[in-house]
A and B are shown apart, each in its own frame.
Chain A
Amino acid sequence: MALNSSQQTISRRGLLKAASCGLGGLTLTGLAPGGAAAGLLSPRATHFTPKAKRVIFLFMAGGPSQFESFDYKPALKAGGGKKGVKNGKLLAPLAKFAQHGESGMWVSDAFPHLAKQTDELCMLNAMSAPSRAHPIAVPMLHTGEFQFVRPSFGAWVLYGLGSENQDLPGFFTVKPTRTFGGPANYGSAFLPSTYQATRLGWEGRPIKDATISNLTSNHGLNQSAARKSLELSQLMNQQLLGQTEDVRGVIDSLELSDRMQSAVPKVLNTSDESKETLEAYGIGGGSTDDFGRQCLLARRLVESGVRFVEVSSSGWDHHSNLDKFKSKAEQIDKPIAALLADLKQRGLLEETLVLWTGEFGRTPETQVLEGKETIGRDHNAEGYTAWLAGGGVKGGLTHGTTDELGYKATDGGVHLHDLHATMLHLLGLDHTKLTYRYGGRDFRLTNIHGEVAHDIIA
């Protein structure tokens, strides 16, 4: 078959259109594509009016202690040194608490900057999760499942909402951990791979050096030639669409790579930030520098229309060395406070849902480790603290309690599945309807669980 000249010019729109059709087996259920552009990343209609449009997920890997951060336990302070219910002795909190803001929310002195933002925080003091083992809890938090590889939270959100910026990936993860699931925690599993996160940096390496490499060409072709080469490649890819869904991932990744070449350097380059902003985030050396950069990056990304940004901080697994909790907290306190203030000042906080959580929290008791009692706490998934901010939650609210020593959630409990359901709800998505058919079954982030915590919604 010979092509006439108009057919020979390969049109990008035509490619996109073709790419969106005829992909056997790929069925988006529960949501109708919205708008004329029908790429997998184009914005989609929600189930109902959303309160939040995007998510910043601050993941504290290891399980930070609620007793040194946001859950004020006078009884534990009084009972310090007495026998605990399990093996250790009750460990009085190693931080002092005070009430802050109009709401009078309790925050420890490990978070002096965040204490000034309490009226934005919706404190969930009665969180619970299915497991207190890292290898189970980390995938549970990220994917709602641990026995099987399932799409990550960010992938579900991107699948449900599409992206507001067609020149950037819609889901970023900044310095993810490599352990306990690694890339599966930000992967797309059976969702099209278009929905998996783009990674910036790795745990343990300074974010300063992290970049997306190869944004500029080494081959010396001019832009128009490079574009033509891409179009030809896409023409060839179209022919394979019938064979595997992965080809869709290849097509989308090529298209996106093309647009990223100009969009990414802009969003990563922080030289246009004012001195005051950098200083506010704690950037410029010192213990806050790295996480400050991560937070600033998060703001720049959501500001550019990225749908979901996960920012990780590791080193919260204080089985011992809990006396170093404050210096750990110091690394994130100022940056997170700055992030909230910055989002607010730019009018972004209202529609940005910020989540701060570990995979679980910790016990009120000391940890008996290697024969010695250490200044540390074991894992606890039956009662711990997470918080939300922005995006339609009640600021200044302290929701739920654990028993007086902090072993278990008693009132106002929010299970991990409920948290997922609630966050999807805030994003305008019904967690029971955000489904994807795979292998003859409709899957969802919350599996068969999850209840929206209406009490915390503004």
Chain B
Amino acid sequence: MMRPRFCLLTLFSIFLTGGFLFAEEPPQKAVAKGTELFESKILPVLVKHCYECHSKDGESIEGGLELDSPSGMLRGGDTGAMLEAHHVDQSRLLQMLRHEDDVSAMPPEKKLSKEVIAAFEEWIRLGAPDTREDKGPTAKEQRLDEAKQHWSFLPPLVVKPPAVKDANWPRDPMIDNFVLARLEAEGLKPARDANRRTLVRRVYFDLIGLPPTPQDVNAFLADESPEALEKLVDKLLGSPQFGERWGRHWLDVVRYAESSGMEFNFTYPHAWPYRNYVIDSLNADKPYDVFLREQIAGDLLPSAKDETPEMVESRRIAPSMLAFGPKRHNSSGTDYQMNIADDQIDVVTKSTLALTVSCARCHDHKFDPIPTKDYYSMAGIFLSTEPLYGTIKQKYSNNPTDLLPIGKGAQALHDAAEQHEKKITQAEKPLADKQTELKKATETVELAVKERTNAEELLAAVTARTAAAKTGGESTATEEGDSATADTSEQETAQKELDEATAKLTATTAHAKALKDEVAKLDASLKELKKNRPPRPQYAMSVRDRAKPADTKIAIRGDFRTRGEVAPRGFLSAVNIPNTAPVDPTRSGRMELAQWITHPDNPLTSRVMVNRIWHHLFGRGIVPTVDNFGLIGKLPSHPEMLDSLALRFVNEGWSVKKMVRAMVLSRTYQLSSAINEKSLTVDPNNRLLWRASPRRLDAEAIRDAILMVSGKLDLKRPVGSTVTPLGDKLVRSISTEKIQPPSNHRSVYLPVVRDYVPELFELFDFPSPSLVSGARAITNVPSQALYLRNSKFVAEQARIAAQRLIASTEASDDAGRVSLAIQWSLGREPSEVERNAALQLINEIKQAEVKEGDSKDVNAWSAWFLTLYTTAEFRYLVDAEG
């Protein structure tokens, strides 16, 4: 009766250990034996052969595997667990020790002895007991914990603006006190205030991306009230041009483009509604948190009480950001979807959090506290999301999707158009059938013609022979023997055959004719159908949840065929915000992701945006790496100021306009660019903000300014995009003139076709629209000078500006015209030296010209404009002469 008792005991032990025992001996004994084995055989081997590359105190921790602690042993390395107590078969460790295929052979240099490997096997069978104790966190845990203490993952703190010696200097304590305190600590002084001419030009370009007209300048100079700047700022913030300027900044960040880029590069004719959405949102001062929620999950947001259909449509357009990323289109399956999800993770986390989460696709993030598991938690969300980017099936493109119909009655129009397409498809089938039939019938007719010809020839031959026989003349047919004696019956047969052939021909011809008519009719009606395609609505890109949202598994080393554990959908573990909703398993989770990102307690979102705004107004972020707040990003120059502003941003309802207003009205923003040798030596890069950094205008502002000067800038928003009528095509099949047709609209409305941006954009550092770019490069190269001096566009605009100048009643003589041109271009009066030099230039050209009349003057004055366009002052925000 011993046996059953033993079984009971075994069962009991299963409960105790939570595992299944293969051991034949009693469990206590097994544990004791295992423990003994561990201490005598296993541990010495670990210490001798493994610690070197797999312990905290060793040379390195290869593959993330730490073998110097029980928890490290059980956790395994980057490729997951390698030890399963009691389960010899499931313990990859043994395969590694045995140097089997498809695993890393360990130790790499020399296989351990058979006895040692057998000891490991036995030890695992006995439950792999480990008598060591965890001494603090493993290196991986430690690294993660340390990384989580990086400033940007900690909540911003309220810091009282510091006291400053020069208490009269600050205007906005939340900015100016922080700046001045640092300067005073370094023994530096802020530069003098910028003069009003300098300021008005700076504010116009910064806020609306356009130069002030002479009237604008004079109005500001004439307004002596203390609120003059405030009034101007409010006017500009309220103008539609504000959204065009600041919308473009955001379009850089979300790598907005109207084609798919990469090796094939298909047009995206329906990306532009997003562009307008961004501009309109900024003009409406849509709270930034709402703006983000719409772009991540606009299609999923619950409808608000007073929401108009236009508002609903606009938030459904917003997630276009997840759809117009660069894509290959010529692939399918998991890989394709995963690459799209990867791009979405990248754009969402970089733009909103300034984190490079997509680095954690194949391994834990090298620097930031972002384990691979977090990446796949987010990947599950985006894999449960279907991007709606459109495109059609054609060569190199095999993944078309739906689009979002937009505009009045869009769905009805779309349905009608789709219905009509169905009709066309339906009409194509019978036509094709009849065409096949007709082809066959035509062949039958041809055969009948042949048969009849044969019959005719036969009858003729027979008739001839009969006739010859009848005349009995010297027959030439004698050699054919008795054929000459053909009788009339033969002739009758031949006649009959001919009649039959004739009848058949008539019949088949008639049939073919009938078919031909039918085909013609069907063809005509198909053509008619095609001609009368009902108008389609406008479309936009978007996304929607997939039918069956699901978690995804970790792809080990980024390989989706080697799946690890399931990563439940969620967000970044390093940013744990209490009271955020977990992902609803029946939905993609985008909504919860959006809420987590825009939660007021998210330490990154508000800081990142405030820093972006600062970057555009001061030329460099408080954190200079505007798209990377991680451990290899740069540290903030004024961390307390950044925190204070971030908290203020949230408290003031995430208002971008209020934040812009606050920064522009600070004393720091209004400084002159004047150099102070001491400050320059201590801080050449002006990180401490002792002056206003001179800044190069971006490509759009340079182009728009040239068009402003010539009076040609069309401030109206164009309808749609010039990419839309091009249809779904490979970009390389379209001529450059069609990709970039001439336009006088603001630069933000020019089509952004990946790898085919306008020349002026490319030359003046427009960022690659395939990459998230919060900060543009600034280069100064001769090709820019060549463009401004020689290009067709600039030459044309200079001539138009010259004509405008000559026609202007604001100047009555050449000196006046010199002055007016410089006011238009640089917002100031010319110096005496400049005026004289300009007059000299103009007179020389006039004298040298052979031609008379208008064109002589136009040539001369256009040379003056060209001169102005090439100056540094035209393309830089610098101090102007008062």
Q: Which residues of B contact A87 (CB under 8 A)?
A: 103-104
Total A-B contacts with CB atoms under 8 angstroms apart: 215
B10 at the interface (CB under 8 A from A): no
A345 at the interface (CB under 8 A from B): no
Is the CB–CB distance between B789 and A240 below 8 Å?
no
B792 at the interface (CB under 8 A from A): yes
CB within 8 Å for A214 and B783 given contacts A221-B845, A244-B694: yes
- The one of B263, B780, B867 in contact with A193, judged by C-beta atoms closer than 8 angstroms, is B780
**Bound-complex Cα distance A243 to B680 (A):** 11
**Bound-complex Cα distance A260 to B785 (A):** 11
- The one of B673, B685, B792, B844 in contact with A243, judged by C-beta atoms closer than 8 angstroms, is B673
**Bound-complex Cα distance A235 to B867 (A):** 10
B105 at the interface (CB under 8 A from A): yes
Interface set, chain A 201-257, CB cutoff 8 A to B: 202, 204, 212-222, 224-226, 228-230, 232-233, 235-237, 240, 242-244, 246-247, 249-254, 256-257
Q: Is the interface of B mostly helix, strand, loop or mixed?
A: helix
Is the CB–CB distance between B876 and A193 below 8 Å?
no
A83 at the interface (CB under 8 A from B): yes
When C-beta atoms are compared, the residue in chain B nearest to A135 turns out to be B359
Convert A174-209 into 0s and 1s, putting 1 for each residue whose CB lies closer than 8 angstroms to a CB of B.
Answer: 000010001110010010011010110010100000
Q: Distance (Å) between the CB of B770 and the closest chain A CB?
A: 8
Q: Which residues of B contact A216 (CB under 8 A)?
A: 790
Among B101, B674, B782, the one with the most A-chain Cβ atoms within 10 Å of its Cβ is B782
Is the CB–CB distance between B786 and A215 below 8 Å?
yes
Is the CB–CB distance between A261 and B863 below 8 Å?
no
**Bound-complex Cα distance A249 to B876 (A):** 12
- The one of A244, A249, A254, A440 in contact with B682, judged by C-beta atoms closer than 8 angstroms, is A440
A433 at the interface (CB under 8 A from B): no
Is the CB–CB distance between B780 and A230 below 8 Å?
no
B778 at the interface (CB under 8 A from A): yes
B133 at the interface (CB under 8 A from A): no
When C-beta atoms are compared, the residue in chain A nearest to B789 turns out to be A257
Is the CB–CB distance between A218 and B791 below 8 Å?
yes
When C-beta atoms are compared, the residue in chain A nearest to B863 turns out to be A229
**Bound-complex Cα distance A254 to B780 (A):** 10
B836 at the interface (CB under 8 A from A): yes
Is the CB–CB distance between A24 and B561 below 8 Å?
no
CB within 8 Å for A198 and B832 given contacts A219-B866, A225-B863, A250-B872: no
CB within 8 Å for A8 and B836 given contacts A217-B789, A218-B795: yes
B870 at the interface (CB under 8 A from A): yes
**Bound-complex Cα distance A133 to B562 (A):** 22
Q: Distance (Å) between the CB of B94 and the closest chain A CB?
A: 15
Q: Which residues of A contact B791 (CB under 8 A)?
A: 213-214, 218
**Bound-complex Cα distance A250 to B833 (A):** 21
- The one of B263, B759, B787, B789 in contact with A230, judged by C-beta atoms closer than 8 angstroms, is B789
Interface set, chain B 840-882, CB cutoff 8 A to A: 840-841, 844-845, 848, 859, 862-864, 866-868, 870-873, 875-876, 878-879
B399 at the interface (CB under 8 A from A): no
When C-beta atoms are compared, the residue in chain B nearest to A237 turns out to be B872
CB within 8 Å for A193 and B779 given contacts A215-B790, A222-B848, A370-B560: yes
Q: Which residues of A contact B836 (CB under 8 A)?
A: 2-3, 8
Q: Which residues of A contact B471 (CB under 8 A)?
A: none
Among B675, B780, B876, the one with the most A-chain Cβ atoms within 10 Å of its Cβ is B780
- The one of B561, B784, B787 in contact with A370, judged by C-beta atoms closer than 8 angstroms, is B561
B741 at the interface (CB under 8 A from A): no
Number of residues on chain B facing chain A (CB within 8 A): 78
Convert B477-504 into 0s and 1s, putting 1 for each residue whose CB lies closer than 8 angstroms to a CB of A.
Answer: 0000000000000000000000000000
Is the CB–CB distance between A440 and B681 below 8 Å?
yes
- The one of B557, B876, B879 in contact with A246, judged by C-beta atoms closer than 8 angstroms, is B876
Is the CB–CB distance between B876 and A169 below 8 Å?
no
Is the CB–CB distance between B101 and A83 below 8 Å?
yes
CB within 8 Å for A83 and B684 given contacts A214-B787, A219-B795, A233-B870: no
Is the CB–CB distance between A233 and B782 below 8 Å?
no
**Bound-complex Cα distance A120 to B524 (A):** 74
Q: Which residues of B contact A244 (CB under 8 A)?
A: 673, 693-694, 876, 878
Q: Which residues of A contact B681 (CB under 8 A)?
A: 25, 440
CB within 8 Å for A254 and B840 given contacts A184-B777, A217-B790: no
**Bound-complex Cα distance A264 to B108 (A):** 57
Q: Distance (Å) between the CB of A194 and the closest chain B CB?
A: 8
Q: Which residues of B contact A225 (CB under 8 A)?
A: 841, 844-845, 848, 863
Is the CB–CB distance between A246 and B785 below 8 Å?
no
Q: Which residues of B contact A243 (CB under 8 A)?
A: 673-675, 694, 878-879
Q: Which residues of A contact B724 (CB under 8 A)?
A: none
A372 at the interface (CB under 8 A from B): yes
CB within 8 Å for A217 and B795 given contacts A24-B677, A240-B878, A243-B878: yes
- The one of B263, B673, B837, B859 in contact with A232, judged by C-beta atoms closer than 8 angstroms, is B837
A458 at the interface (CB under 8 A from B): no
Q: Which residues of B contact A253 (CB under 8 A)?
A: 780-782, 784-785
Q: Which residues of A contact B166 (CB under 8 A)?
A: none
When C-beta atoms are compared, the residue in chain B nearest to A241 turns out to be B872
Interface set, chain B 127-144, CB cutoff 8 A to A: none
**Bound-complex Cα distance A222 to B782 (A):** 20
Is the CB–CB distance between A439 and B685 below 8 Å?
yes
Q: Distance (Å) between the CB of B819 and the closest chain A CB?
A: 14
Is the CB–CB distance between A219 and B833 below 8 Å?
no
Q: Which residues of A contact B99 (CB under 8 A)?
A: 83
B538 at the interface (CB under 8 A from A): no
- The one of A198, A218, A220, A439 in contact with B683, judged by C-beta atoms closer than 8 angstroms, is A439
**Bound-complex Cα distance A1 to B559 (A):** 73
20 pairs across A/B with beta carbons < 8 Å?
A8-B836, A187-B777, A213-B786, A219-B794, A220-B795, A225-B863, A228-B841, A228-B863, A229-B789, A232-B841, A235-B837, A237-B872, A240-B873, A244-B878, A246-B778, A247-B872, A254-B782, A257-B789, A370-B559, A370-B562
Residues of B within 8 A of A (CB): 99, 101-105, 108, 263, 335, 366, 557, 559-562, 632, 673-675, 677, 680-685, 693-694, 696, 755, 759, 768, 777-787, 789-792, 794-796, 798-799, 832-834, 836-838, 840-841, 844-845, 848, 859, 862-864, 866-868, 870-873, 875-876, 878-879
8 new A-B contacts at CB < 8 Å, known A244-B693, A250-B875: A83-B99, A212-B783, A214-B790, A246-B876, A247-B872, A251-B872, A253-B781, A261-B786
Please give me the 7 A-B residue pairs with the lowest Cβ-Cβ distance, nearest first: A371-B561, A249-B780, A257-B785, A219-B795, A244-B694, A218-B795, A193-B780
